[in-house]
Every structure is written in C-alpha cells, then in structure tokens.
Structure 1
Amino acid sequence: MAHLSGVTTKAASYYESRGLLEPCRKPNSYRVHDEGHLSAVTEIRDLPSTGIAARQVAP
C-alpha cells in the first residue's frame, strides 16, 4: 500500500500511530488495506501542498 500511494512504510506507520489510518489485521498481524486506505494515505500525503502538516490532522 505504501508503494502504491507513494509514501514510505515509515510514513504509513506514522499515520497509523496518529490514528489517521486503521487497517484491519490478519491473525498473523499483517495489515490489510483496502481502496479507502489508499485514498486516505494519498490525501494525507498531499496535505503539505495545502499548508497542512500530517501532525496537525486529527482523526
């Protein structure tokens, strides 16, 4: 998902830690993302171009 959205895995993990992204998890703890997650990450990634940093966004 990180690759498809153009962000690093570290950035995706950061978004998750901030509560901006809540993927489902498989029994083996792997994250499961859907189209909605991809859209959300793309929007979050583009926020700095509008003057808003990800750290300023609340879930």
Structure 2
Amino acid sequence: MRIGELARRTGVSERALRYYEEQGLLIPQRLPSGYRVYGETDVAVVRRIRILLAAGLNTARIQEILPCIVDEDGWLTPDCPELVDALRQQRNRIDDAIGELETTRANLDTIIGAGRRAS
C-alpha cells in the first residue's frame, strides 16, 4: 500500500508517517520511482508507535524499544527483560512531573484565594 492508504488506515497524517521514517521508526520499501510501499505489518507498527508516544516516550526511545514490543491481542507487551526497567523509569519521571504540577496548581490556588480575600 502507498503512504496515503497507510495514513487512511491508521488515522495518522502522511507528514507524521514521513517523520516516523526519518526517525527510523518505520522503514518502507521503495519502488524504483521512489514511492514508498508499506505492508500490513506497518499498520501494526504505526499503532505501536502511537501508543508509545501517548505513553510519553520520545521517538528516540521508541526506536530503541520498538523491537522489544510485541502486540498480543491488542495489548503491547515487553519482550525484552531490560525493557520493563526502562519503562518503570519512564513512569517514575511521569510521577515526578505530576507531583511538580500538583505543587504548581496548589500554589496557584493559594494565590487565587488570596486575590479573592483582597477583593
């Protein structure tokens, strides 16, 4: 299938698919004319990429771990033991960011509350 068909089937823009290729996440075959040709497996790869991006991983990290992720009945599963530790580290970074955001929100609530009392 060509890039437009892959975009339609995955709901991902052609521009994003080209970006995934630039990042080494997606490797289409090329016709002599230069057109990209994708297979059925690429639909699943794009799905995995989208899920990993939504999980907060950047494309460099996804490139590293994509070969260690398998899709079992719609669930992504790590296939390399060291991957679980890396994913835990990512989750810990997210937890830290959430904690910082909660502190920021509490500070704003305090400022907003002080503004109401002054009015």
Q: If the length of structure 1 is used for normalisation, what is the TM-score?
A: 0.83
Question: Which of 53, 56, 59 in structure 2 is aligned with 1:48?
Answer: 53
CA contact (8 A) 2:52 2:62 kept: no
Per the TM alignment, residue 4 of structure 1 is displaced from its structure 2 partner at its CA by 0.6
User: Kindly, what percent of the aligned residue pairs are identical?
Assistant: 37
Farther off after superposition, 48-57 or 25-34:
48-57
The structure richer in helix per residue is 2
1:18 and 2:23 are equivalent in the alignment = yes
Cα distance in 1, alignment partners of residues 38 and 47 from structure 2: 13
Cα distance in 1, alignment partners of residues 60 and 11 from structure 2: 18
Structure whose CA Rg is larger:
2
1:11-40 CA-to-partner distances (Å, cap 9, x unmatched) read 100000001111001111111100111110
Aligned length: 59
CA RMSD in angstroms, aligned pairs only: 1.5
Structure 1, unmatched stretches of 5+, are none
Structure ranking higher on relative contact order (CA contacts 8 Å, 6+ apart): 1
Cα distance in 2, alignment partners of residues 10 and 33 from structure 1: 15
